[in-house]
Structure 1
Amino acid sequence: MIRMVAPAKVNLFLAIQCRRADGFHELETVFQAIDLADVIELETSPEGIHMTSDWPGLPAGKGNLCWRAAALLAESAGTSKGVEIRLNKKIPPGAGLGGGSSDAAAVLLGLNRLWELHLSPEELQTRAASLGADVSFFLQGGTALGKGRGEVLSALPTPHLWFVIGWPGVTLSTSAVYQDWDKQPSAGNTKLSEMLSALEATEASGIAAALRNDLEDTTLRLCPACAELKSTLLERGCSGALVSGSGAAVFGIARDKELADEVTAALSRRGLWARSASSLSSSETL
């Protein structure tokens, strides 16, 4: 049996360049892995892919990226081995935190070991990209600049940051958010160069000032609870706050662990799902 930890991510920067001919969008984004994580146990079975999850209503078959990652690996590697996948879910699904993609990356890495496939990192990345752009990031982890759909990755320095992650309990469809953005495109004012400079300096205040997400206006319009959550994070002392990805999770950057825990507790008292988290480097991811 192999136990894998699958961390969440936030997008510190997300600029949409254009809609491509294939229907996807050309992006520039800065991913940051955080220590909020799902836990996955993988155990060899005689045949087939069998999956269970402790998150109510979460698909456990072909509708789940974990299952699809296992099926893809079995088919492409030509193995008849089976697996039992047990998913202990801590990252809310459909929240813009990359939980499903991270789970898929963990399954690829874990099964490569469990099934003794000996696939190279490059071979795993090829399979990851076919599952989704964010899956590619989670094979690398840490802090990274993503271009293309987000799958063309360059490692960046990892700052030491404390986050408050809030989620209003709403699941947003990524495709629906992008479709709405296409009708009313908007762009932030911060340039990528400002975020990259702030990361080089590893100063939380500079990173907070350089936050950008072109999808945020759309998400806040579709989900008023997200707008309220962002306002609360700022009012409680976070130096910056932003919708992560397409939402509906919103994160704030706190000056230290004490403030992160304090704001998290305040959100929890209001009945909201909230967690404090810190940044992870690539050596700490998966």
Structure 2
Amino acid sequence: MTTNLSQLLACPAPAKLNLFLHIVGRRADGYHLLQSVFQLIDRCDSLDFYVRADRQIHRLNQVHGVPEENDLVVRAAKLLQQHCNIQQGADIYLHKCLPMGGGVGGGSSDAATTLLALNKLWQCNLSKESLMELGLQLGADVPFFIFGENAFVEGIGEQIQAVSTPEQWFVVIEPGVHVPTPTIFSSKELTRNTKPVRIADFSSAANVEWKNDMQAVACALHPEIAAVINWLKQFEINQGDAKMTGSGSCVFCAFPSEDAAKKVLQQVPNQWTSWIAKALQHHPINSKIN
């Protein structure tokens, strides 16, 4: 992995899982108020960055279903360039591994990695806090990936506190459907008044029903998600462990060891894409840019 001031290669953009996702209210402007714990995992997209002498920004490869001008990676690069009045540009190659529309934050993570890597390459010297503020313009999940630690997240996603999570492994299943987030949020059936919890409740494993309030709506719209959850429930260690992440469609379940996760993975029906991932405590790009 080459690292110098003209390029940064194999920069990881990890997925996240929502260990729970509660909707506790709604603002006057229509935005929903959330509580969640975001868990980083070691399943990642990867990006290569090459500095250009001109101000041109290009994505070097095709990404199915994502035109270059709409790609959060390109938008993130242009946003940073404009914010810092940078005279250089960048060529970016995106190695896509994470599913789109899966609720694992792939696009947001790619954007965050772009901001972190180009902040280093272009010598912008913005603080993490400044990058998080900039990232919020691209999406509510982007600041979390720049924050770079597992977090208790509140508000519309902008209130972030570091939280300790267990060392564990996850089986993740892609049901093969794409769930547009606005469809979930606009549903009349969506629960919007779950009782708020405290970060201390999560840290002490309090007797709270840790659920995903978006799951019921997504399952009603896409029975395949419900089918995956029902199949995975047979392997739960604790009731409710098998659940959807984000607004869907990926479904996951936690296990205490890699061996336990692998045993379940081997039994996943062939019609679903599935994989295992290890819980991370910190963003893996930190060692590359610090």
TM-score of the pair, normalised by structure 1: 0.89
Write the distance in 2 (CA, Å) between the matches of 1:32 and 1:118. 27
Residue matched to 1:278: 278
Q: Is the 8 A contact 1:32 1:141 kept in 2?
A: no
Tell me the equivalent position of 2:3.
none
> Percent of pairs identical after alignment?
34
Candidates 136, 140, 147, aligned match of 1:133: 140
SS of structure 2 residue aligned to 1:83: strand
In structure 2, the residue matched to 1:47 is 55
| Counterpart for residue 81 of structure 1 | 88
Partner residue, 2:98: 91
- In the aligned structure 1, how far is the partner of 2:39 from the partner of 2:285? 10
- For 2:122 and 2:65, the matched residues in 1 are separated by 26
Q: After superposition, where does 1:14-25 map in structure 2 within 5 Å?
A: 14-25=21-32
Deviations 1:175-229 (A, max 9, x none): 111111xx11326978634x7445346xxxx89x743111111111111111110
RMSD: 2.2
Count of aligned positions: 276
Alignment of 1:26-45 (within 5 A): 26-45=33-52
Is 1:263 the equivalent of 2:270?
no
Query: Residue 4 of structure 2 aligns with which residue?
Result: none
Matched residue, 2:203: 199
> What is the deviation of 1:54?
6.1
**Runs (5+) with no aligned partner, structure 2:** 1-6
Q: Does 1:162 align with 2:169?
A: yes
Matches within 5 A, 1:103-252: 103-180=110-187, 183-186=188-191, 192-193=197-198, 196-200=200-204, 210-237=209-236, 239=238, 240-252=241-253
* Alpha-carbon distance in 2 for matches of 1:197, 1:160: 18
- Counterpart of 1:118, as a letter, is N
Shift of residue 53 of structure 1?
Answer: 4.3
In the TM superposition, residue 237 of structure 1 has moved relative to its aligned partner by: 4.5
1:122 positional shift: 1.7
Question: Do the aligned partners of 1:9 and 1:98 also contact (CA within 8 Å) in 2?
Answer: yes
Q: Deviations over 1:157-180 (max 9, x none)?
A: 131121111111211111111111
